[in-house]
Chains A and B, each alone.
Chain A
Amino acid sequence: MRNHSLLGKIGIYAAVAATCGLLLFPIYWMFITALKPANRLRDFPPEFWPENPQWNVFADVLNSQPFGLWMWNTVLVAIATMILSLTVGTLAAYALSRFRLRGGQGLGLFILTSKMLPATLLIIPLFVVFRSLGLTGSLWSVIIAQSTLIVPFATWMLKGYFDTIPPELEQAALVDGASPLGAIVRIVLPVAAPGMAATALYAFVISWSDFLYARTFLTTSESKWTLNMGIATLKGEFVTDWNVIMAASLMAAVPIVGVYLFLERYLVGGLSAGSEK
């Protein structure tokens, strides 16, 4: 570490504080909005801490709405999407990274361009396909639809990571008697853990925050609603309880933080250090 002067240190801390403040402000605003009574939300000048915080709003959300069910559906969708995207993405990325495929590079770019298509463009064809397969109203529709968005990017993230792993590692495992799949499972995947964790987190977050697909494919089956879908229904035609929506949204964000904290240990790079010279 270089030695910074006191002034330099103050500057750095100030910059970090400013950045954090900027990033955390919306969350803070959600939090105090949730705690304010509905009739005080539009006060000007605004209150930066409610005089009379309404802590019971969180319990109200849980009691008045099927919040647990939404949460459960969202968890199912996010985990299934994560597993599906990671499985497909890992195998595709490994093939793109390791095998000399005819037109492999073109294929890789093609996969990436498919990521450029907006979800709204895909939604009608997907709806037609899911309807003919009888999947509309099922969580599978959302899982598959989200995976089509996530897999291309996951493939590229993982390919980039696999490219950094020397192929000699698998070759050594093959010479040691491992099968090709064994070499991937026992050597490549553990070494690629940071890349896998980052990709898993990406898939989880994207899936968790999906609204469009859930809204399109699940509208008619209330028992399959996800959090975002459910929270959106809290917005009424004439009256909207923003404090309730904010409380629900805050609670909806908690699992993401949990998943991040769990995966964080794998996100630390440099795990492959030491395999080579």
Chain B
Amino acid sequence: MATIEFNQIQKSYGGVQAIRDFNLTVDDGDFCVFVGPSGCGKSTALKMLAGLEPTSGGEIAIGGRDVTDLGPGKRDIAMVFQNYALYPHMSVRSNIGFGLKMHGLPKAEIDRKVAEVADILELSDYLDRKPRALSGGQRQRVALGRAIVREPSAFLMDEPLSNLDAKLRVQTRAEIVKLQKRLGVTTIYVTHDQVEALTMATKIVVMRKGVIQQIGSPETLFDTPANLFVAGFIGSPGMNFFRGPVEKEGDVAFTRFAGARIKLAVPAGQLPFDNAIFGIRPEHIRIGGEGAEIGLTLVESLGTEKILHFQTPEGQEFNDADTAADHDDERDASSMLARVIDDVRYADGQAIRVHLPEDKIHVFNPDTHTALRAASGQVNT
């Protein structure tokens, strides 16, 4: 068990900089998730930590020991790969015991530890099988077993669930979290799935184009995203964005949504713009009351939960690569979503009133796309 530190890590391939100024401290026992769209550098960061990719600059320390120039075998880490990377010519027993054998443990001890791990992961009946005779879920457990049997100071997991079907993924997700809590081993987990990140992590690192966007707990990232990208990436369905004017009356600022005037939590002094970008999560939009009147374009019903689609008011559309391209829900950039749980029946084309609660509106700098907040001003990334 150990802390993990990245200090000014850089990575470039030829002239292309894949990772820039990567600074991160992961505390002992943390479950830290690197999340971001594909190509954001999260797997590269993990491979550098594993020693499978050399760094182009900076230092990596595991448990206070500088491991930057050590080979993967000397870093006291274990890794679970996306494709499991089980040794196909070896039995499950040999797969799990391979690392122990490489570290020169006596056979009796290897057998004992393998049996112990197989018992934890319910693999005892399959120890003599080859990986090809196992199901996807069982293979995944062998890959986990290979990692935990070594009792390393850190687990590194590179999208270990992406090859499982949806149901098994949810089940295994919970199992991994439970296992990690039980063993207390510092874990770095890479995924592109923000739901996985939110449900598993104690600490999330959101990355984009090789740069850390924000580091924080799932709640921090959800409630106070540092910028447009994080706001759009975290949460499902993603945050709605719209452009709006900034109107000031003394120290109080307002914006307008479909004509309705909304007071902003951010004081006027912090908004030296004529207009800004605003965001609100689909679950925070209130239906009814005295809000602006809009027409529903589509109603998706999931029983009591409904996703209501409506057009962003004309002239207020915000269309930006920062948010749309990287998000996984395929919504039209000019439409907004509201997520409601009620017993009302909605129909396509129906006119409803939507109210955006002022304390739930996120305000972003229209130029830098960083979030602006009432109490602490700009959030540091």
Residue positions of A touching B, CB distance < 8 A: 166, 168-169, 171-179, 182, 187, 190-191, 193, 271-277
Question: In the assembled complex, which residues on chain A have CB atoms less than 8 Å from the CB atom of B85?
Answer: 166, 168-169, 171-172, 275-276
Shortest CB distance A99–B (Å): 13
User: In the assembly, what is the distance between CA of A274 and CA of B88, in Å?
Assistant: 6
Task: Return the CB mask of B120-147 against A: 1 if under 8 Å, else 0.
Answer: 0000000000111110100100000010
Binds A, one of B76-84, B200-208, B220-228, B346-354: B76-84
- Chain A contacts for B50, CB-based, 8 A: 171, 175
A277 to B138, CA, bound (A): 10
- Interchain nearest-CB distance for A179 vs B (Å): 8
B132 touches A182 (CB 8 A): no
Q: How far is the CA of A272 from the CA of B83 in the complex (A)?
A: 13
With both chains docked as a complex, state the minimum distance between the C-beta of A231 and any C-beta of chain B, in angstroms: 41
17 contacts between A and B (CB under 8 A): A168-B82, A171-B81, A172-B81, A174-B71, A174-B73, A176-B78, A177-B99, A182-B102, A191-B87, A191-B89, A272-B88, A274-B133, A274-B134, A275-B84, A275-B85, A277-B83, A277-B163
User: Chain B residues with Cβ under 8 A from A187's Cβ?
Assistant: 87
Whether B99 and A176, one on each chain, are in contact in the complex, defined by CB atoms closer than 8 angstroms, is yes
CB distance from B153 to the nearest CB of A (A): 13
**CB of A98 to closest CB in B, whole Å:** 12
Q: Which of A169, A173, A274 is within 8 Å of B132, CB to CB? A: A274
Q: Are A275 and B86 in contact (CB under 8 A)?
A: yes
Q: Is B72 an interface residue (CB 8 A)?
A: yes
User: What is the CA–CA distance of A175 and B98 in the complex, to the nearest angstrom?
Assistant: 11
Residues in chain A near residue B132, CB distance under 8 A: 273-274
Chain B: minimal CB distance from A248 (Å): 41
Known contacts A169-B87, A177-B102; A274/B131 CB under 8 A: yes
Say yes or no: A176 contacts B86, CB within 8 Å: no
Residues on the B chain within 8 Å of A191, using CB: 87-89
- A-B pairs with lowest CB-CB distance, top 7: A274-B132, A177-B102, A277-B163, A176-B99, A168-B85, A274-B131, A177-B73
Residues of A within 8 A of B150 (CB): 176
Assess the B73–A176 pair: CB atoms within 8 A. Answer: yes
Q: Are A168 and B130 in contact (CB under 8 A)?
A: no
A276 contacts which of B71, B73, B84 (Cβ < 8 Å)?
A: B84
In residues 38-67 of chain B, which contact A (Cβ within 8 Å)? 50-52
Q: Is the CB of B83 within 8 A of A178?
A: no
**Would you call B87 and A177 a contact (CB within 8 A)?**
no
Contact present for A174 and B52 (CB under 8 Å): yes
Given A174-B51, A182-B102, A274-B133: 4 more A-B contacts, CB < 8 Å? A173-B87, A175-B50, A191-B89, A272-B88
**A contact residues around B136 at 8 Å (CB):** 277
Instruction: Scan residues 97-122 of chain B and give those whose CB is less than 8 A from a CB of chain A.
Output: 98-99, 102-103
Least CB distance, A40 to chain B, in whole angstroms: 55
Query: How many angstroms from the CA of A174 to the CA of B133 in the assembled complex?
Result: 25
Q: How far, in angstroms, from A177 to B103 measured CA to CA in the complex? A: 6
- Is B133 touching A173 in the complex (CB atoms < 8 A)? no
List the A residue with the shortest CB-CB distance to B130.
A274
Chain B residues contacting A171 (CB-CB under 8 Å) are: 50, 52, 72, 79, 81, 85
**B69 CB to nearest A CB, Å:** 15
> Which B residues touch A277, using CB under 8 A?
83-84, 136, 139, 163
A275 with B87, Cβ < 8 A, contacts A171-B81, A173-B98 known: yes
Chain A minimum-CB-distance residue to B78: A175
Residue of A nearest to B88 (CB): A275
Tell me which residues across on chain A come within 8 A of B77, comparing CB atoms.
175
Q: Report chain B residues within 8 Å CB of A168.
A: 81-83, 85
Query: Could you tell me the distance in whole angstroms from the C-beta of B50 to the nearest C-beta in chain A?
Result: 6
CB of B141 to closest CB in A, whole Å:
13
- CB-CB under 8 A from A166, the residues of chain B are 83, 85
A110 to chain B, nearest CB (A): 23
On chain B, the residues within 8 Å of A272 by CB distance are 88
Interface centre among A169, A177, A193 (most CB of B within 10 A): A177
Instruction: Specify which chain B residues have a CB less than 8 angstroms from the CB of A174 in the assembled complex.
Output: 51-52, 71-73
Residues of B within 8 A of A275 (CB): 83-88, 131
Which listed residue (A177, A179, A182, A274) contacts B86, Cβ 8 A?
Answer: A274
How many whole Å from A140's CB to the nearest CB in chain B? 35
Contacts of B89 in A (CB 8 A): 190-191, 193, 271
User: In the docked arrangement, what's the CA distance between A77 and B103, Å?
Assistant: 40
CB closest chain-B residue, reference A166: B83
Minimum CB–CB distance for A80 against chain B, Å: 27
Q: How far is B131's CA from A191's CA once the two chains are assembled, in angstroms? A: 13
B131 touches A175 (CB 8 A): no
Q: What A residues does B134 contact at CB under 8 A?
A: 274
Cβ–Cβ contact B88 & A271, under 8 A: yes
- Write the nearest CB–CB distance from B88 to chain A, whole angstroms: 4
Q: Are B52 and A274 in touch, CB under 8 angstroms?
A: no
| Bound CA–CA A176/B136 (angstroms) | 22
Complex: A178 Cα to B97 Cα, angstroms: 13
Q: How far is the CA of A179 from the CA of B102 in the complex (A)?
A: 9
Residues of A within 8 A of B73 (CB): 174-179
In the assembly, what is the distance between CA of A277 and CA of B71, in Å? 27
Tell me whether B72 and A175 are in contact (CB under 8 A): yes
Pick the most buried of B85, B103, B150: most chain A CB atoms within 10 A of its CB.
Answer: B85
Chain B residue nearest to A272 in the complex (CB):
B88
Report how far A175 CA is from B73 CA in the complex, Å. 5
Q: Smallest Cβ distance from B269 to chain A, in angstroms?
A: 53
Minimum distance in angstroms from A162 CB to a CB of chain B: 14
Considering the chains assembled together, what is the distance between the CA atoms of A187 and B163 in angstroms? 23
Query: How distant is A67 from chain B, measured CB to nearest CB, in Å?
Result: 40
